[in-house]
Chain A
Amino acid sequence: MGHEVQGGLAIGLVIAATVLIGAFGLRLSRTTSDFYVASRSVSPVWNASAISGEYLSAASFLGVAGLILTYGADMLWFPVGYTAGYLVLLVSVAAPLRRSGAYTLSDFAEARLESRTVRQVSSIFVVTIGWLYLLPQFVGAGLTVQLATGAPGWVGGLLVAAVVVFSVATGGMRSITFVQAFQYWLKLSAIAVPVLFLVLAWRADGMPTPGDGPPTFADRTPVEVPADLRFDVVEPVRVLVNGVLDGQRYVGEPVVLGRGSHEVGEGALLTFPAGSTVPHAATVEASDNASWARPLTAVGDRDHPVYSTYSLILALFFGTMGLPHVLVRFYTNPDGRTARRTTAFVLALLGVFYLFPTVYGALARLYTPDLLLTGRTDTAVLLLPERLIAGTGGQLLTALLTAGAFAAFLSTSSGLTVSVAGVLAQDVLRGSVRDFRVAAVLAVAVPFALSLWARSLSIADIVGLAFAVAASSFCPLLVLGIWWRRLTSTGAAAGLLVGGGLATAAVTATVGGVDRGGWTGALLAQPAAWTVPVAFLVMVVVSRRTPGRLPPHVGRTMVRLHAPESIAVPERRVD
């Protein structure tokens, strides 16, 4: 009971702070241009905190640790890729992108290629990527609220959706910048402080390590099943069952679970003896601890680990620049030079944060192996404190982590909502502030609806897919658009449609539940390694075939993108 109050209180405080800071910023935003882009007057330190605050999503806060708990060493590439993506962005597009003056990726496409068609194709992918990225935020919010207060799974998503629409529709960008900056520091403290206590508790526990065998329950462990569940038993085990198992109701009776698949009903309580092997949910692949600790081992149907690792690296490294909410943030830098410096600072802030999810993932393998059985691996971060630290201390740390997780859902969702709503308002509606508010509701409603049936998907996996689509559509558009004069509007549109379209198709197949095994499964689950080169190739080949579609003012655009601020170019002064 006590921990439900604390969890609810933590969530309430984060929401109150978000809305209050948003309302405070509201008084500063007056004109339409203020409303959209914070008047470009945000200082680099604030801006770097805001970029990091917005970027650290449910995937970073909860998802990475969950994936590390399940799949081990190979998942360490997620935090590496999330950070390295900013380095790639910095060296290949940061300053020119800022100088382009584009507010959304669609604006950049139109300004560079002088074509409405390319703009509209870009808008389709901004919305696709935005929705794909918003979906896991709502899933994560649902899990967190359910865990903290016992409310049904849809409550958390709805709460985040409502707060985001309210603060985006009333505050605009200016207030969001302050909210985001505040949320970076909140998230960092929320994830860093408990680690200190967790590591101390682990040392006091005699510093156990996972060993080589399959994951086991260290002590006699009761596991409550949160929803109807199908799971696989690797080693026969004798458990006490209270609830429905394989269609039969038991009341605290011992049952021997044989090797193979079983079904258990919602609310059932299974009590495992100490030292028994942990069964695993049908959605989670089993692996022993030796291969868990080792990079590049095939886990279950995640075949072809070398291909999958490189494809994931490609998606994360090259996808960051194409995320809709990242570009908006760059617009609030005063010029290209500041944009670069801000990005370098962002890399440092992200690097510090990403030291921590790995610790949670590794400790979770020791202390929350039951999540492999229930399939709720994304809740590992939230459960660890109470598993390791008894009493009020553990509860307080859980409340802190709940607050941090909620900050992650809110900040990323508002950033994405601003971008998706911006594109919808300008390309589908007429672009007034009122249209922006309508668009904000639209931007949130669709992924929220999707999150209701997609709850079994791993948060970080879906976010990885959003990166793959971004890397296969906007990365080639930005890189070629900035560095290659001969990119034509036809080439750009063709590359976006083919690369982004193929990646979207692969993602749809994966989310739709196509078997992940074999080469087909690996190619669909990690599409970037083939869709990114295809997108580049199509853009280059089609551009060479259509030299007549070269934008007429490409020379002027290139000057605008690359000329340093320190020289006074007459053309610049016009705008």
Chain B
Amino acid sequence: MSEQPPRRVRVVSPRSRAVRTSGSRAVSRDIGEQTIVGEVYMASLVRIQLRLAIGVLLILTVLLGGLPLLFLAEPDLVEVLVFGLPLPWLLLGVVVHPVLVAAALFYVRRAERNEADFAELVENS
């Protein structure tokens, strides 16, 4: 019926926390509601995490998947003794395990960094 008063506008310093929080809420709401913007953000995160996963799996394929080929190509590796153990036994029985743990730690650090970067991106936009 009557004319509405003009909408109130909150004026804040661009460096204050209030601005960043409201911005972040907007993008995270986009993500939560799967708007086009939100989908683009999520797709970028999924892509970068998938690339990391494929990278680690490729390294694993080359390092471990290559071992049978190596044994096939060099059957006399079994004559090579390291600390009294035939090399294939040492590789499969001992060396593999620290390598796997190192790969796991590498992955965890990178995946967490990707997520931190993503969170920062969302908060600063």
Contacts and interface: CB of A to CB of B under 8 A. Distances in A.
Interface of A: 73, 76-77, 79-80, 83-84, 86-88, 90-92, 95, 293-296, 306, 309-310, 313, 317, 337, 340-341, 343-344, 347-348, 350-352, 354-355, 358, 362, 483, 555-556, 558-559, 562-564, 566-572
B101 to A, nearest CB: 5
A84 B101 CA distance: 9
A296 B68 contact: yes
B34 A309 contact: no
A91 B52 contact: yes
A441 to B, nearest CB: 38
B60 A88 contact: yes
Contacts of A362: 89
Interface of B: 24-25, 28-29, 31-34, 38-39, 42, 45-46, 49-50, 52-53, 56-57, 60, 64-65, 68, 71-72, 75, 78, 86, 88-89, 92-94, 96-98, 100-101, 103-105, 107-108, 111-112, 115-116, 118-119, 122-123
Contacts of A295: 68, 71, 78, 88, 92
Nearest to B63: A84
Q: Which 5 A-B pairs have the closest CB atoms?
A: A351-B97, A564-B115, A76-B92, A555-B34, A571-B32
A490 B40 CA distance: 27
B100 A570 contact: no
Contacts of A563: 31, 42, 45
Contacts of A347: 100-101, 104
B70 to A, nearest CB: 9
A82 to B, nearest CB: 11
A79 B92 CA distance: 9
A351 B98 contact: yes
A73 B33 contact: no
B41 to A, nearest CB: 9
Contacts of B75: 294, 296
A567 B101 contact: no
B100 A558 contact: no
Nearest to A479: B53
Given A91-B57, A559-B32, A355 B94 contact: yes
Contacts of A77: 92
B71 A569 contact: no
Contacts of B89: 73, 76, 293, 358, 362
B42 A559 contact: yes
5 contacts: A84-B96, A86-B104, A91-B52, A483-B50, A556-B34
Contacts of B107: 87, 90-91, 340, 344
A88 B49 CA distance: 14
A562 B46 contact: yes
B80 to A, nearest CB: 12
B29 A570 contact: yes
Given A73-B88, A80-B92, A568-B28, A337 B78 contact: no
Contacts of B98: 351
B74 to A, nearest CB: 10
Given A555-B34, A559-B42, A296 B115 contact: no
A313 B78 contact: no
A571 B33 contact: yes
Nearest to A558: B42
Given A296-B71, A564-B115, A358 B93 contact: yes
A317 B63 CA distance: 14
B115 A559 contact: no
A306 B49 contact: no
A352 B96 CA distance: 11
A562 B45 contact: yes
B72 to A, nearest CB: 6
A555 B39 CA distance: 8
A340 B111 contact: yes
A337 B64 CA distance: 27
Residue of A76, A483, A559 most packed against chain B (CB within 10 A): A559
B39 to A, nearest CB: 6
A347 B72 CA distance: 28
A572 B111 contact: no
Contacts of B68: 295-296, 306, 309-310, 313
B101 A566 contact: no
B97 to A, nearest CB: 3
A293 B89 CA distance: 8
Given A76-B89, A80-B92, A296-B71, A567 B118 contact: yes
Contacts of B72: 296, 306
A87 B100 contact: yes
Contacts of B119: 564, 566-567
Residue of A343, A355, A558, A568 most packed against chain B (CB within 10 A): A568
A563 B39 CA distance: 11
A87 B42 contact: no
Contacts of B65: 310, 313
Given A73-B92, A295-B78, A569-B28, A343 B53 contact: no
Contacts of B112: 337, 340
A569 B104 contact: no
Contacts of B103: 87
Contacts of B24: 567-568
Contacts of B93: 76, 79, 355, 358
Nearest to A295: B71
A313 B119 CA distance: 37
Given A87-B104, A88-B57, A92-B57, 19 more contacts: A73-B86, A73-B88, A73-B92, A80-B64, A84-B96, A90-B107, A91-B56, A91-B57, A295-B71, A296-B72, A309-B68, A341-B108, A344-B104, A347-B104, A348-B101, A351-B97, A351-B101, A559-B31, A559-B38
Nearest to B98: A351
Contact of B108 (A76, A344, A559): A344
Contacts of A91: 52-53, 56-57, 107
A348 B56 CA distance: 17
A312 B24 CA distance: 48
